Amino acid sequence: MIQIPRGGIRLGIALQSVAMLVLFVAANVLSFENYWRGDFSRSQKFALSAQTRRILREFSEAKPLNITIISSPTMFGPAAQILGDVQGLLAEIQFSGRERVVIESVDPTRNLTRMRELQGKFKLANADNLIVLEYGGCSRTLNIARMADFDMGPVAQGEPPRLLAFRGEQALVGEMIALVNPDARAVYFLQGHGEPTEGIALFADSLRMQNARVEGLSLASSDAIPADAAALVVVSPKFDIEVREAAVIGAWLRQRGRLLVLLDPDAKTPRLSEVLAASGIVPRDDRVLRTVRLPLATGILRDVTGGILPTTEFTRRLAGTTVLFPGATQSLALDTALAKKETLQLRPLIEAAEEFWGERDYAPNRPGGVRYDDGKDAGQPLPIAAQSDRGGVEDDRVEVQTSKLIVVGSAQFAYDASATPQGIDFLVAAVNSLIDRGRLTGVAAKSVAHFALNLTDAQLGRIALFSMVLLPGLSALAGIVVWWARRS
């Protein structure tokens, strides 16, 4: 038997120890530089939206965004309930922004010197529960209590307000956009033709969150679109525009105007359709639908599922997203002959899912049922949203001062009762694209809603039985089985 010298054994153990230490250090260094973070929570509370990450890239490392949170854990009020959420959100922003973001926390009850400096610099009247954002010599102040929705009803009974939804990321993104684009762009909503004055608050509030100034516009007593109008939005007009209004909107659109139109398929608006057709987008007189097989009959599905296409800068960031269009939806035709004649860039933005078609004979109770008629009905591909750029370039990443028109063959998806996060994302991104903020588009931040489970006494009893009796009983039974197997 060969005897290995003890010195060789010691050397081998030393080399193995050094190798393990090198591997340990290398693994830690590599994992520190290369890692992946994921948020597996139900509400995605700790994950930043694509738009937030994109806006953070607008700031430079040489001139970072400075965020100062002024708050004390000893203070009372609604803001105290969300202080932890705000600090967690700022930590995620710091991680995503890296050197582009500098965050400072100031307790006004302990750091009086720093507090006086901030009050003098930013002219702060309130001394607590504030977030101050500073960039490029400009500053914005945000009250922490505005970053959430509260139910103040319990206050009357001496209880603290109840938190309904946390909107911290939405509020911060709005302030960041205001710093990157200090001028609030005016977005006018056309009125006077049966357009909704209520019911689209979610759409309008989402635009305000993007630092847009939302106002109504009536052309009944005006012969021109306001000079400060960055975009005009027409939502579901029930009645047609007047000849004079059509001339005003058409001339403005040709002179670098920006227009978003959400059509009401059930309304007869030939003059509005003529304005849209002059830019190469022709609303078809049809209804987008499909048939579904039921146990005893064939049903008609009129709620359309549309897929966003990566044809423009803002839709590329939403590509693969599906939008539900409830109610009536009409398809759009793109006039390619006119596009060649007048230098128009026509692009479909959303197409209906493969099973849908544009039915020409959409009258209810049609004899013989509904079926696709080749050569008569509009088949696939079936655009239900499209964009027209007059005098633009094919690569829309190059910002050129051209007229832009976006048309959607439905408006119901913009109403509060039918709105979905995907639909609002598309609408907000479309308006941002019209007002030359396409680089800031993307999936926008969503509010985190809080909810409570209302369980009956019987349900609570079953939960208690399961957790206090069944689970321990099963564990005990498994132990007995193992003990019996070993004993025998």
* Statement to judge: residues 151 and 194 lie in one domain: no
10 Å Cβ neighbour count for 291?
Answer: 17
Q: Are residues 240 and 141 in the same domain?
A: no
What is the CB neighbour count within 10 angstroms for residue 35?
Answer: 7
pLDDT tens per residue, range 322-362: 999 998 999 999 999 999 998 899 999 999 998 899 988 87
Is residue 114 in a domain? yes
Check residue 138 and give its pLDDT.
85
Helices first, then strands: H and E counts in the chain = 13, 21
Give the pLDDT confidence of 116-125 residue by residue, as tens digits.
888 888 888 7
Residues in the chain, total: 488
pLDDT in tens, 122-152: 888 777 788 898 988 888 888 888 888 888 7
pLDDT at position 382 is: 94
Q: Are residues 428 and 327 in the same domain?
A: yes
Residues 125 and 214 reside in one and the same domain = no
The residue from 124, 146, 174 where one domain ends is: 174
Identify the domain boundary among 118, 153, 174: 174
Q: What is the pLDDT of residue 230?
A: 92
State yes or no: pLDDT of 113 exceeds 80: yes
104 shares a domain with 63:
yes
The answer to whether residue 466 is domain-embedded is no
Whether residues 351 and 298 share a domain: the answer is yes
Both 343 and 211 in one domain: the answer is yes
**What was the pLDDT predicted at 324?**
93
Q: What is the pLDDT of residue 277?
A: 95
pLDDT (tens digit, 9 = 90+) per residue, 249-276? 999 998 889 999 999 999 999 999 999 9
Is the same domain home to 421 and 338?
Answer: yes
Residue 13, domain member (yes or no): no
Tell me the whole-structure pTM to 2 decimals.
0.75
- Per-residue model confidence (pLDDT) at position 447: 53
Write out the residue range of the structural domain in which residue 312 sits.
184-436
Tell me what pLDDT residue 81 has: 83
Is 358 inside any structural domain?
A: yes
What confidence tier does 394 reach under pLDDT thresholds 50, 70, 90? low
pLDDT of residue 392: 58
Task: Please state, in angstroms and rounded to a whole number, the distance separating the CA atoms of residues 116 and 132.
Answer: 14
Q: Are 105 and 67 in contact (CB under 8 A)?
A: no
Residue 448 lies in a domain: no
As given in the structure block, the two tokens for residue 292 are 């579904």
Q: Does residue 427 lie within any of the structural domains?
A: yes
Report the CATH number that the domain containing residue 81 is assigned in CATH: 3.40.30
E strands of 192-325, at which residues? 212-218, 229-235, 258-262, 281-283, 287-293, 298-301, 304-308, 322-325
The predicted pLDDT at position 275 comes to: 95
Q: Are residues 232 and 346 in the same domain?
A: yes
In the chain, the number of structural domains is 2
Last residue of a domain, one of 122, 148, 174: 174
Q: What is the pLDDT of residue 336?
A: 92
Is residue 214 assigned to a domain? yes
CATH number of the domain to which 327 belongs: 3.40.50.880
Instruction: Determine contact, residues 211/171, Cβ cutoff 8 Å.
Output: no
Q: Determine, yes or no, domain membership for 370.
A: yes
Check whether residue 279 and residue 365 sit in a common domain.
yes
Whose CA is closest to 149, among 130, 168, 135? 168
Is the domain of 124 the same as that of 244? no
Q: Are residues 62 and 103 in the same domain?
A: yes
Mean pLDDT of the chain: 84
